[in-house]
């Protein structure tokens, strides 16, 4: 199982899409909660034998005024799959932002375990 705790998350957009992000994520008992200065995210996951998969919804809590145009003023739904260890996790996924599908890679690094 993925360790419960506070993680640093980085997101890298793929396929030539400009952008990316970083923030924090709380991983606890198959739930995900996190965000940054403009957006928050929540979701769920399943994990076993070093592999995990899940889904996340991302929403804007504060107007970003063009800082992150791909996400702003949209409900973004995300699906992902990847691997995990005691120190963190990696995943590849697809985000649906409006009518645009965006492939991405994310990494979680454990900061504070529960």
Q: Which domain CATH number covers 88? A: 2.40.128.380
Q: Residue 34 sits in which domain range? A: 5-113
Whose CA is closest to 52, among 95, 25, 92?
Answer: 92
Residue 26 near residue 44, CB atoms below 8 Å: no
What pLDDT score was predicted for residue 69?
62
Residue 32 near residue 43, CB atoms below 8 Å: yes
> How many domains does the chain divide into?
1
Mean pLDDT, consecutive 10-residue stretches, the chain (114 aa), reads: 95 83 95 94 97 96 74 86 97 90 95 96
3-class SS of residue 38: coil
| Residues linked to residue 51 through DSSP beta bridges, in sequence order | 48, 83
Tokens of 33: 């909660």
């Amino acid at each position: 199982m993925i360790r419960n705790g506070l993680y640093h998350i980085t997101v890298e957009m793929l396929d030539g899409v400009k952008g990316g992000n970083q923030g924090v994520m709380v991983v606890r008992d198959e739930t995900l909660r996190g965000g940054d200065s403009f957006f928050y995210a929540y979701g769920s996951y399943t994990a076993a034998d070093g592999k995990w998969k899940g889904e996340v919804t991302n929403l804007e809590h504060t107007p970003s005024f063009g800082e992150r145009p791909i996400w702003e003023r949209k409900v973004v739904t995300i699906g992902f799959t990847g691997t995990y260890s005691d120190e963190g996790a990696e995943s590849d996924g697809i985000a649906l932002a409006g009518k645009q599908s965006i492939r991405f890679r994310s990494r979680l690094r454990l900061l504070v375990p529960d």
